[in-house]
């Protein structure tokens, strides 16, 4: 089975530009998470979805960030406009609540964003 697939792996953009990160979760998983990893703040949960519905977006830093999950196999995290402090590695993870798999997150390889 394919794992969680994220694109792009690397993105370099200039301040003020729009950035869209994409994620394809593992087929059949009913939870999808977006995390951000920086040296200063570690791993932060930004938002998560259950069955395509956003459950908790309290970790989204500000209105410049938005996330959608239009169907079970695709999610996007958008930053508009981007700022240098958004530079980080963004991880998507998916999981399955049933079958004793609670909390077992499967992570993608991450999207490294650099905002100049």
Enumerate binding residues for other proteins (CB under 8 A): 4, 31, 33, 42-43, 45, 48, 50, 55-56, 91, 93, 95, 97, 100, 102-105, 107-110
Is residue 94 packed enough to be buried (19+ CB in 10 Å), middle (13-18) or exposed (0-12)?
Answer: buried
Least Cβ distance, residue 16 to other proteins (angstroms): 28
Q: Which of 29, 21, 27 is nearest to 49 (CA)?
A: 29
Q: Looking at beta carbons only, is 52 or 81 nearer to other proteins?
A: 52
Q: Looking at beta carbons only, is 7 or 50 nearer to other proteins?
A: 50
Q: Which of 65, 20, 22, 71 is nearest to 44 (CA)?
A: 65
Q: Looking at beta carbons only, is 46 or 79 nearer to other proteins?
A: 46
Least Cβ distance, residue 3 to other proteins (angstroms): 8
Joined tokens for residue 97? 């609540």
Terminal Cα distance for the chain, rounded: 37
Q: Looking at beta carbons only, is 46 or 115 nearer to other proteins?
A: 46
């Amino acid at each position: 089975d394919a794992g969680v697939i994220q694109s792009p792996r690397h993105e370099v953009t200039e301040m003020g530009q729009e950035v869209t990160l994409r994620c394809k979760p593992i087929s059949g998983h009913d939870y999808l998470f977006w995390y951000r990893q920086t040296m200063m703040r570690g791993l932060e949960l930004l938002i998560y979805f259950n069955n395509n519905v956003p459950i908790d977006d309290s970790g989204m830093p500000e209105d410049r960030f938005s996330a959608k999950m239009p169907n079970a196999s695709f999610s996007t995290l958008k930053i508009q406009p981007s700022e240098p402090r958004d530079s980080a590695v963004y991880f998507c993870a998916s999981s399955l609540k049933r079958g004793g798999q609670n909390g077992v997150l499967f992570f993608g390889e991450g999207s490294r964003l650099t905002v100049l």
